[in-house]
Amino acid sequence: MKRNFLIFTAVLISLMLILTACSTSGFNDKTTKGSSVKTADPTPPVYDFDPVIAKGSFPDIAVDKNGNVHVTYGRMTKLYYKQFDAKTGKWSDEKDLDVKILSAGGFGIERSDPDIVIDSKNNPHIFAGSEYIYFDGSSWKKIRPRTENLRDTELGIDSKDNLYIVHRGGNSPGGAMGLLKLSAGATSWVACPDPDPVLGTRTDHVYPDLYVGKDDTVHIAYRHALPMKTSYMFSKDGGKTWTSEGVSNAEPEAPHIIVNSKNTVYITEGEAYFYTRTAEGKFEREGRAIKSLGRMQPELDIDSKDNIYVACFNGLYNIRTNGTWIGEKVNGIYTGKTLTSHTGAKIGFVEMAGAKDFVYAIWEEGAVNDEKGADATKTDIVVGKIFADGTSKAGFY
Q: Tens of pLDDT along the chain (397 residues)?
A: 434 433 444 444 443 443 343 333 333 333 223 332 332 334 456 666 899 999 999 999 999 999 999 999 999 899 999 999 999 999 999 999 999 999 998 888 988 999 999 999 999 999 999 999 999 999 999 999 999 999 999 999 999 999 999 999 988 876 889 999 999 999 999 999 998 876 666 777 889 999 999 999 999 999 988 889 999 999 999 999 999 999 999 988 899 999 999 999 999 999 999 999 999 999 999 999 999 988 899 999 999 999 999 999 999 999 999 999 998 899 889 999 999 999 999 999 999 999 999 999 999 999 887 777 778 888 999 999 999 999 999 999 7
Is 41 within the bounds of a domain?
no
* Per-residue confidence (pLDDT) for residue 369, from 0 to 100: 78
Q: What's the start-to-end Cα distance of the chain, in Å?
A: 57
pLDDT computed for residue 321 by the predictor: 96
The type of residue at 333 is I
Q: What CATH code is carried by the domain that includes residue 155?
A: 2.130.10.10
- Distance of alpha carbon 218 from alpha carbon 131, whole angstroms: 21
pLDDT of 23 reads 37
Quote the pLDDT of residue 46. Answer: 60
pLDDT at 19: 37
With respect to residue 343, please indicate whether it lies within any of the assigned structural domains. yes
Torsion of CA 31, 35, 37, 39, to 10 degrees: -40
Domain-embedded: residue 25: no
Q: List Cα–Cα distances, 298 to 121, 156, 290, 315, in angstroms.
A: 30, 18, 8, 10
Given a contact cutoff of 8 angstroms between Cβ atoms, the answer to whether 382 and 59 are in contact is no
Question: Does 22 map to a domain?
Answer: no
226 backbone dihedrals φ, ψ, rounded to 5°: -135, 145
Does residue 12 belong to any structural domain of this protein?
no
pLDDT at 4: 42
What CA–CA distances, in Å, run from 263 to 160, 215, 266, 279?
A: 18, 8, 10, 10
Q: Is 51 a domain residue? A: no
221 part of a folded domain:
yes
Residue 188 confidence (pLDDT)? 98
* Residue 37 forms part of a structural domain: no
To 5 degrees, how large is the angle CA 149–CA 108–CA 351?
110
Q: Which of 308, 291, 313, 284 is nearest to 390 (CA)?
A: 308
Q: Give the range of the structural domain holding residue 65, as residue numbers without chain letter.
A: 57-394
Cα–Cα dist 382/307, whole Å: 23
What total number of domains does the chain contain?
1
